[in-house]
Structure 1
Amino acid sequence: MLTFHSDATGRRRARTELDEGRLVAPYECPERVELVLDRVRQTGLGDIREPETFGLSPVLAVHDRGYVDFIAACWDDWRAAGHAGEAIPSIWPARTMRGDVVPEHIDGRLGYYALAAETSICEGTFEAAMASKDIALSAVSHTLAGGEPAFGLCRPPGHHAASDQFGGYCFFNNAAIAAQHALARGARRVAILDVDFHHGNGTQQIFYARDDVLFASLHGDPRTCFPYFLGHADETGRGRGEGFNRNYPLPPGTAFDTWSRALDDALARIREAGCDLLLVSLGVDAFEHDPISAFKLTSDDFTELGRRLAGLGLPTTFLLEGGYAVEEIGLNAVNVLTGFEAGARQA
């Protein structure tokens, strides 16, 4: 299986994250990519390739132009305003305020386009986000060209990024961009299966009223887990999209036996929908020792996940999302990929 990677993803090296009232070093860091790359090499998974460059057009196919312009200019505008630290939002258009006018001041714009306060914007963020979506597009293009699976080692991740909001370490929604690209290239219906511990609120929002993308997400119950305000089971789509959004919120402490029953239901729905491409938002923070999650999957469970995904028999692209138990992220991510390859050989 080919892995697509770019050193440009390391241009984002944030120093600050708001966590439990403290400013700490971010859990999402460049070292995550290095550990996954090391494991890819150790297992002989396959070649590692540089991505192609696709420009902004695929981003604008799913993201608001004003939002994209904001991400591109935010760091320079923040510094020009005289701020010494990294850009962290402190005010939002909350329920009692207007949300139809974008402020001119960078502090206001930062809050307008943010969905949470934990994610700072620093030097290199836009460049890393552009490289990350190029990785996703190169990986899915490889799968579309010959039907072979591919792994996009994306960083920053993408599934929390909505059409016009960033947060949860995400700026451009890599899976959504890849899905739209596949549709433009002739795919009839794309399945996005999100196995990250945290709900892919951005992916859901982008495709919620559409029937050409089936979104299914297994995640921590939003009553107790980030991002809190989306991801309930009764969110099933709107209009033409009714029935094409499936959420599987699960309680803290969920182990593989319960988690895998939800997975099997999601896979059955993908089969029923007649999807011709599978994109996996591959978060491995459902791991039992992940520092900011609450499920109990083991490293061996990720191998079994890969085998079950292979059972769909669909052209498949994997895109890295979360996973913050840094010592094990490479093992767990690559276990999914090697499990998929083993399952495909047995099919």
Structure 2
Amino acid sequence: MKTVFSPLHAGHSGQMELVAGAIVPGFEKPSRAEIIKARVEDQKLGDILAPEIHDLAAAKRVHAADYIDFLPTVWPEWEAAEKTGSAIPFAWPTRGLRGDVRPQTIEALLGYYSFDGGASFVKGTWDAIKSSYDVALTAAQLVKAGERAAFALCRPPGHHAGAAFMGGYCFINNAAVAAQWFRDQGAKRVAVLDVDYHHGNGTQEIFYSRADIQVINLHGDPMTEYPFFLGHADERGSGEGEGFNINYPMPFGTTFDKWNEALEDACRKLAAYAPDVVVVSLGVDTFEKDPISHFKLTSADYPKIGARIAKLGLPTLFVMEGGYAVDEIGVNAVGVLTGFEGR
């Protein structure tokens, strides 16, 4: 299996985030991608390719154009306003406030285009965002060209980014971009299978009213777990999309046996949908030692996940999302991929 990777991800480094009443160093750090890349090499998974450079047209197929145009301007505007430190959102147009009027200052724009304080910027953030997007599209091209599967080693991740908002370390929704790109290249149906611990609220929001892209999430129950405000089981899609959005919220402490029951049901529903291609939002923060998550999967479980996805017999694009136990993230992420390959 070929992997696509860009060293430009490392420019998004040293950023701070707002979480639980504190400004802390970002959990989403460069070592995540470097450890996974080292494991890909160690396990001889396959060639590691540099991404091709793409324009932003594919991003604007799933995101609002003004939002995408905003992202490269953040750091220059932050510096022009003589701000220091990370550019962190801190005020949001919630219920009862005006979300229909685009403000002018960079502080206000950060809140206008976000839903939390976890998507912050430093000088190299935009280059990292763009490289992550290029990685996803390049890996999608490999699958379109006939590869059984490819691995987009994206950083930063993407599944919390919605049509016009960032959050949860995510800026461009790489999995959603790839799913739409497959549709634009002729796929009649695409399935997105999100196995990250945290609900892919951005992916759900983007495709919620559509029948041509099925979205399935296995995740922590939003009654108690971030991102809190999407991911309930009764969210099944709207209009033409009704029935094509499927959520499996699970409680703190879920073990692999219970999690795997959800995966089995999800795979049955995915197979019945009969997509032309599967996009897997590959988060491994379901791991028992993950510092910001509460499931109890072990390293031995991840190859089983890959093997089950392989049984679908469909062209598959793996897009890296979350996973923050950095010592084991490489073993777990690549374990899914080697399991898919039948090792």
TM-score (norm 2): 0.98
1:278 maps to 278
**Matches for 1:71-86 after TM superposition, within 5 Å:** 71-86=71-86
Alpha-carbon shift at residue 320 of structure 1 (Å): 0.3
Of stretches 117-126 and 213-222 in structure 1, the one that deviates more from structure 2 is 117-126
Percent identical: 53
Q: Which AA in structure 2 matches 1:335?
A: G
User: What SS class does the counterpart of residue 342 from structure 1 fall into?
Assistant: coil
What is aligned with 2:37? Answer: 37
The match for 1:258 is 258
Deviations 1:150-188 (A, max 9, x none): 000000000000011001000000000001111111111
Contact 1:14 1:121 in 2 (8 A): no
SS in 2 for 1:326: coil
Any unmatched runs of 5+ in structure 2? none
Whether the aligned pair in 2 keeps the contact of 1:190 and 1:275 (CA below 8 Å) is yes
Q: Which amino acid aligns with 1:193?
A: L
Q: Report the counterpart of residue 334 of structure 1 in structure 2.
A: 334
Contact 2:10 2:128 in 1 (8 A): yes
- Name the counterpart of 1:4: 4
Partner in structure 1 of residue 125 of structure 2: 125
Q: 2:24 maps to what in 1?
A: 24
Structure 2 contact 119–171 (Cα < 8 Å) conserved: no
Q: Distance in 1 between matches of 2:65 and 2:50?
A: 27
Give runs of ≥4 in structure 1 deviating > 4 Å. none
The answer for the alignment partner of 1:164 in structure 2 is: 164
Pick which of 64-73 and 288-297 moved more: 64-73
Distance 1:34 1:329 in 2: 10
Report what 1:305 is aligned to.
305
The Cα of 1:119 is off from its aligned counterpart by 2.6
Give the C-alpha shift of residue 131 in structure 1: 0.6
Amino acid at match of 2:55: G
Aligned residues: 343
Counterpart of 1:181?
181
On the 8 A contact 2:15/2:121 being kept in 1, the answer is no
Deviates more, 1:7-16 or 1:262-271: 7-16
- Tell me the amino acid that sits aligned with residue 153 of structure 1: L
In 2, distance between residues paired with 1:224 and 1:22?
19
TM-score by length of 1: 0.97
Q: Give 1:321's aligned residue.
A: 321
For 2:324 and 2:244, the matched residues in 1 are separated by 30
| Alpha-carbon distance in structure 1 between the residues aligned to 2:5 and 2:261 | 33
CA distance in 1, matches of 2:313, 2:239: 29
Q: Distance in 1 between matches of 2:87 and 2:316?
A: 36
The letter of the residue matching 2:332 is N
Q: Any conservation in 1 of the 2:196–2:285 contact (CA below 8 Å)?
A: yes
Q: What secondary structure does 1:219 align onto?
A: strand
Q: Is 1:201–1:227's contact at 8 Å kept on the other side of the alignment?
A: yes
1:21 shift after superposition: 2.1
Query: How far 1:72 sits from its partner (Å)?
Result: 1.1
Deviation at 1:90, TM superposition (A): 1.5
Give the aligned partner of residue 109 of structure 1.
Answer: 109
Structure 1: runs of 5 or more not aligned: none
Instruction: Spell out, residue by residue over 1:103-132, the C-alpha distance to the aligned partner (whole angstroms, 9 max, x if none).
Output: 011111111101101331111211111110
- Provide the rounded CA distance (Å) in 2 between the counterparts of 1:152 and 1:298: 23
